[in-house]
């Protein structure tokens, strides 16, 4: 079972980060053991994970790339999810939740198809013709701005396993205990600064300033980060 590293002073607190950049800087401090580590990539889950991951990548001196996953949204509640899909075609369902919601196989299939279309467009928008890095045998640090159910992250780390990565570190500013426990059996380490328990959880509650990250902002931030790394 993966070790979990958190920040004791942040446990069960809200509004502990100024914004995603501040959270990324604090997360990088916690990940200091990976500073300049060989054969290690930082992978951001867009959109919200990108500003966090950029800070982690730059402060640790590690290459940055993307792992595009999409939450499968409940048809009548777009804030809730019942699973996730990954950029490589993987589909991961919360079967117990699907059953309790009474979702039919046809409804699930429609949701999967809709999110895969969105994901294909996002991959093209964010990556263009940029090839996905060769990760076999390497360590990946997968970064998002927080976990809610944890299924999007689970989809990502399972996709990593299929690519034969050497080790997976999940690094997020905030998460509920139940989401961390969901992914722990599938990774090598979880770093979560603001670990919270209790029945009610929202990622946004960890931040003093919170807004959606627009796709155009993601493209701009990524291009700046990638160009900076290519510069002499």
68-115 confidence digits (pLDDT tens) = 888 888 888 776 778 888 887 788 888 888 888 898 999 999 999 998
CA separation, residue 187 to residues 47, 171, 179, 222, 226 (Å): 22, 11, 13, 26, 27
Q: Which residues contact 175 (CB under 8 A, 6 or more apart)?
A: 146, 147, 150, 192, 194, 195, 196
pLDDT at 232 over 70: no
Average pLDDT, the chain: 90
- Residue range 180-192, pLDDT digits in tens: 999 999 999 999 9
Assign domain 3-68+134-230 one CATH number from 2.60.120.260, 1.10.10.10, 3.40.50.300, 3.40.50.2020. Answer: 3.40.50.2020
Largest CA distance in the chain: 56
- Residue range 131-170, pLDDT digits in tens: 888 889 999 999 999 998 888 898 889 888 888 999 999 9
Domain boundaries along the sequence of the chain = 3-68+134-230
- 169 - beta bridge partners? 141, 189
């Amino acid at each position: 079972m993966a070790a979990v590293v958190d920040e004791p002073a942040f446990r069960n607190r809200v509004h502990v980060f100024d914004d995603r950049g501040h959270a990324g800087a604090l997360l990088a401090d916690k990940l200091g053991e990976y500073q300049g580590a060989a054969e290690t990539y930082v992978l951001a889950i867009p959109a919200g994970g990108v500003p966090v991951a950029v800070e982690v990548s730059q402060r640790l001196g590690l290459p940055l790339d993307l792992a595009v996953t999409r939450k499968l949204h409940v048809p009548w509640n777009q804030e809730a999810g019942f699973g996730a899909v990954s950029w490589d075609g993987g589909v991961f369902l919360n079967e117990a939740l699907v059953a309790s919601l009474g979702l039919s196989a046809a409804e699930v299939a429609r949701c999967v198809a809709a999110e895969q279309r969105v994901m294909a467009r996002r991959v093209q928008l964010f990556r263009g013709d940029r090839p996905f890095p060769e990760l076999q045998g390497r360590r990946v640090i997968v970064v998002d701005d927080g976990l809610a159910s944890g299924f999007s992250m689970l989809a990502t780390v399972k996709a990593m396993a299929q690519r034969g990565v050497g080790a997976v570190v999940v690094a997020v500013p905030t998460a509920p205990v139940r989401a961390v426990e969901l992914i722990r059996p599938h990774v090598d380490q979880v770093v979560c600064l603001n670990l919270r328990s209790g029945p009610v959880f929202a990622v946004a509650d960890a931040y003093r300033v919170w807004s959606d990250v627009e796709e155009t902002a993601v493209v701009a931030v990524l291009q700046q980060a990638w160009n900076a790394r290519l510069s002499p």
